[in-house]
Structure 1
Amino acid sequence: MNPQTRHNLLDKLRIGPWLILAIITTLVVSFLYPHQLGVLLWSLTKLCWGAYLGYWIDRSIFPYARPDGFNPDRDPKERTLWELLMLRRALIIAAALLALGLGV
């Protein structure tokens, strides 16, 4: 396995411990409190929708100021702009997650 392939594999697995922890805690909840699995599923569904809607809200409000339209390696000014665009998108997605997570 060449170093680049190994790096790509490790990059894809970097979230692995969190996934394993989520699976373990879900199994614990299902064993101790099986009646709570519906609540867990409903909460996960709302969070997934919040992330999806937040992304598309950002894209629809700012169709011409998307982060993928800028090359941060080309110009230092563009790097700052790219960072601000990414921060804007993260804030909009976080707001949508909070709205659906704290809502009904």
Structure 2
Amino acid sequence: MKLPKLPRLTVWLGIACMLLAQIALLYPQQIGVALFKVALVATAGVLGYYLDRSLFPYARPDGYLAETQLNRYKTVPNEQESDFRVNEGYHLVFALAMIRRAVIVGFAMLAIGLGA
């Protein structure tokens, strides 16, 4: 019998909860501060994402994919193909758009994290 696959990052969620429980046991007065900082960083990630979307509305990474959202899962790719195919000639642009978004979101989170 095969066990169901856990959602992504479940292990890291468990580690984070254990660390939060450890903070609660050792320093209960710091729980509010820790949760406040987590909320700030998470909010900064969302704001960084929407900042990227508003600054580059015509260069979204999913715009370089070969399939649209509607017909993406109609064909089953074989093991030699990627799950999401990129249009021919746009592999570098797709990669740069993904890196650009990650850098903008990362720096927004870093700015809020350093400023709080």
TM-score (norm 1): 0.84
Superposition RMSD on alpha carbons, in Å?
1.9
Query: What per-residue deviation string (whole Å, max 9, x for no partner) do you get for residues 1-49 of structure 1?
Result: 89xxx8xx63x52311111111111111111110000110111011111
Unaligned runs of 5+ in 2: 66-84
Using the aligned pairs only, state the percent identity.
39
Residue in 1 that maps onto 2:22? 28
TM-score (norm 2): 0.76
TM-fit CA distance, 1:73: 3.0
1:80 is the counterpart of 2:92: yes
> What are the within-5 Å matches in structure 2 for residues 1-104 of structure 1?
10=5, 13-71=7-65, 72-75=85-88, 77-104=89-116
Query: Deviation above 6 Å: which 4+ runs of structure 1?
Result: none
TM-fit CA distance, 1:103: 0.4
Q: Which has the higher helix share?
A: 1
- Structure of greater relative contact order (alpha carbons < 8 Å, 6+ residues apart): 2
TM-fit CA distance, 1:90: 0.3
Give aligned pairs, total. 97
Unaligned runs of 5+ in 1: none
Three-state SS of the structure 2 residue aligned to 1:64 is coil
